[in-house]
Amino acid sequence: MAKRTTSSESTSDSSNTPRPTRSRSAKKSDSITESINAQEVPVQADPVSQPPTETGPYSRFTDFDIHLFRSGKHQRLYEKFGSHVVEHNGVTGTYFAVWAPSARYVAVIGNFNGWDRGSHPMNVRWDSSGIWEIFVPHIGSGESYKYFIVHEGGRELEKGDPYAHFWEVPPRTASIVRDTYYEWQDGDWMANRKAKNALNAPVSVYEVHLGSWKRDPSDPERELSYGEIADALVPYVQDMGFTHVEFMPVMQYPYAPSWGYQITGYYAPSSRFGTPQDFMRLVERLHQAGIGVLLDWVPSHFPGDAHGLYEFDGSHLYEHPDPRKGYHPDWKSYIFNYGRPEVRSFLLSNALFWLDRCHADGLRVDAVASMLYLDYSRNAGEWEPNVFGGRENLDAISLFKEINEAVYLNYPDVQTIAEESTAFPGVSRPVFTGGLGFGMKWMMGWMNDTLRYFERDPAFRKFHQDELTFSTVYAFTENFMLPLSHDEVVYGKHSLVGKMPGDEWQRFANLRLLFSYMFTHSGTKLLFMGGEFGQTSEWKFDASLDWHLLEFAPHQGMSACVKALNNLYRTEPALFERNFTANGFEWIDTTDRENSVITYARKGENPADTLLIVLNMTPIPRGDYRIGVPSAGSYKEIFNSDARAFYGSGVQNEGTIGSEEQPWQGRQQSIRLNVPPLGAVILKISQ
C-alpha cells in the first residue's frame, strides 16, 4: 500500500471545528473536573451500575456478552455498543454504551443537552469491564452527540462514538444516532452469490473511489450522492462486463486526501455521500444487476484525530502502548493493539458488520504485510522481536486466522482478499493447514514485474522476457488476484497508458496488449477505474475521471477492448475454471526472445475449451508465424487486440487455421498465423 496522507498532516484540524452550542459547557469544564476530583459528581449516577433486574435500568449486555468481549471473541458488538433507540419502561429514548476503562467520568453531550458536560453522566458497569452506559429518554434518530471523557489523571477529551453508524459530514466530527434497518430487495443475488464468488468462477473487479469516479458535470467540485453514483455506476459496470466492484474505503474518514484509508468511524458508511441506508441501496442495486460488492477494510492503522480512536479514554486504549508496535512511521498513524482482547473483539465484529448489515460480498484487507511483520518499515533497533526471537507479529497472525475463520463460518459464500506484498507463506491457505485463511491474495510480484517489462522500449524487451515468465514459478502457491490498482497511478507513477513507451498508437496498443496478458494469465483480475478507457492523467482523488476522453477513437477502442476481454473471461471456462491450479496453464514457447513473442495455453475441465494465446511484444507484425498446438484440428481466432474496433491496425486471422503434421516446439502438430504488432491473439479449436 502506498503512503496516504494522514489527517494529522492537514493544515486545519477538523476535530477542533467550533460549535457555538458548546460555549456553555466549555465554561463549565473546569468546575466539572474540580467536582469530579472532589467526588462531588458521582462516577456512577444511578442503578445501572448495579446488576440489572426486570425493573432496573436498561442494558444491552448480558454476562455472556461481557465474557466474549473480554475474551476477544465477540462477533456482534455493534448490537451492544454505540447508540440504539429503544423503549424502556414504556418510554422511548436512546441507549448509549462506550468502552472507556481508564476514565473517571464519562458523559453524553449533544444538541439535546446543549453540549452540557454535566447533565448526562454515564454509569460504569459493576463488572470491571470498563463499559459505561446510560439510557436518555425522549431522544432518538438524528441526534448529534459525543462522549465527554475525563481520564483518571484529569485529562479531558471529547470523542465520537467508535460504534456509531452515522456521523456529521466532515469537517464536523460528531456522531449521529441512527440505526441500520433496511428492507433488502437483493434476495436472488444473496441466494445465488456462492457461484459468483467461488474460486472457480470468473472474478473481474472494477476498483472505485466514490469521491472521484464521477462528479456533477455542472459543478465539478460536488461529489455525487450514493444514489447518483448508483444511477451512473450500475449500468456502466454492467455494460463493461466486470463481475464485481471494489470500493476503496467507504467507512467514515475525516480527511479526504487519505483516500479513505485513515478511518475514524469503522461502523459507518461515509456521510459525505448520504446515509447508511443510501449506501445499502447502492449495494442492493449492484446486486440486482448481478454485480458483487467488495469493500476495502483497514484494520492496520487509524489516524490521531482528536475525536477518533487515538488515546480514546486518555490511555492507549485501541493502539498498542509501545510505539515500536503502536505507531506507523510511513503513514504517521497508530496501530491497533492486536493482543488486547477487547480490541480483537472490535475488529472481529467490524469485519462481520459489513458482511451482515451491508451485504458485502467480500473484504479486501489493506496493508496486510504491515501487520504481519514487527520490523515493517523499521530499522534495526526500532522493533522488538517476538517471544521466539522472530520478526512475525504473532498477535496479528492469530487475529487474521480468527477473523477469516469467523467470516467463512458465518458467510461461506464471500471472499476475503489480502493485500500482502511479501512471500509470507500460506496467506490464502486454510487455517487448518497452517495458513492465514484468506480466500485470495494480491499478486504484487506479477504487477511489479509486468509493469516494469511493459515500460521498457520494445527494442530491449528481448533481454527481459523472464520478467513475464517468472510469475508462473510461484503463481500457484497462493490463490492470486492480479491487481492494477490505484497505487500504480499516483505520486508521479503516471497513468497506465502514460507508462507505455512509443507514440500514441503504440502506447494504446501496448496497454491493450497488457490487458490481454492480464486477462489470460492465471488468477482473478482487478483494474482501477480509468484504466479501462485509457485515462491519460494520474488519478486525482478530488476530481472526476476524464470521461470526455471517450469522445476520441483511441479511448473508445480501449474501452471496447476491455469490454471484449471481460466478455471473453466470463464465457471461456479455460480462463477461470482452473485459475489457481497449475493444470490450468501451460507454456508453449518462451524461447523466441529475438522476436519477443511468447505463447501459452489456458485449460479448463474440458480439453475442448483449451485456448492458445500468442503475444507479440514488439511493433513489428509477424506473418506466417508458426506455433506448436496440443492437438490436430482447425483453430479459429476468437480475440485479437489489434482489431480496428479497438483502434488497432487490423492484422488479423480470417476464417479457420488448419493444423499441420509438422513437429514444432515439442508438439507433433503446428499452425501458422499472423501475429499483429504489439498485439495479442487468442485461438480456440473449432468444434
Active-site positions? Answer: 366, 419
DSSP symbol at 539: P
- Of 175, 181, 178, 137, whose CA–CA distance to 158 is shortest? 175
Would the CA dihedral through 227, 231, 235, 241 be positive or negative? negative
Q: Which amino acid is at 296?
A: D
Rg (CA), the chain: 28
| Whole-angstrom distance, CA of residue 508 vs CA of residue 647 | 8
Q: Which long-range contacts (CB under 8 A, 24 or more apart) does 547-552 make?
A: 547/214
Burial class of residue 505 in the structure, from the number of CB atoms within 10 Å of its CB (0-12 exposed, 13-18 middle, 19+ buried): middle
Residue 82: its H or E element: strand 82-88
Q: Cα–Cα distance between 68 and 260 in angstroms, integer?
A: 30
Spatial neighbors of 632 by CB under 8 A, at least 6 apart, are 659, 661, 669
Cα–Cα distances in angstroms (integers) from residue 657 to residues 388, 673, 677, in the given order: 62, 7, 20
Cα 274 to Cα 280: distance, rounded to the nearest angstrom: 10
Question: What is the number of H-type helices and E-type strands within the chain?
Answer: 15, 28
Which 8-state DSSP code applies to residue 71? H
> Is 671 buried (19+), middle (13-18) or exposed (0-12) by CB count in 10 A?
buried
What Å distances lie between residue 174 and 14, 111, 347, 405, 410, CA to CA?
11, 10, 22, 34, 32
Give one DSSP letter per residue of 629-673, joined into a string.
ESSSSEEEEEEETT-GGGT-------SEEE-BS--BTTBSEEEEE
Burial class (CB in 10 A: 0-12, 13-18, 19+), 149: buried
For 335-369, b/e burial (b = at least 16 CB within 10 A) is bbbbbbebbbbbbbbbbbbbbbbbbbbbbbbbbbb
Spatial distance between the Cα atoms of 90 and 605, rounded to a whole number of angstroms: 63
Q: Strand runs (DSSP E) across 516-616, as ranges?
A: 524-528, 585-589, 597-602, 611-616
Q: Rounded to whole angstroms, how far apart are CA atoms 419 and 480? A: 10
The rounded distance, in Å, linking the Cα atoms of 417 and 398 is: 17
561 vs 534: CA distance, rounded Å: 11
Report H helices in 101-248. 187-197, 226-240
Residues facing residue 51 across a β-bridge: none
Specify whether the CB–CB gap between 349 and 76 falls below 8 A.
yes
434-456 burial code (b ≥16 CB/10 A, e <16): ebbbbbbbbbbbbbebbbebbee
First-to-final CA distance of the chain: 46
CB count within 10 Å of CB 56 equals 13
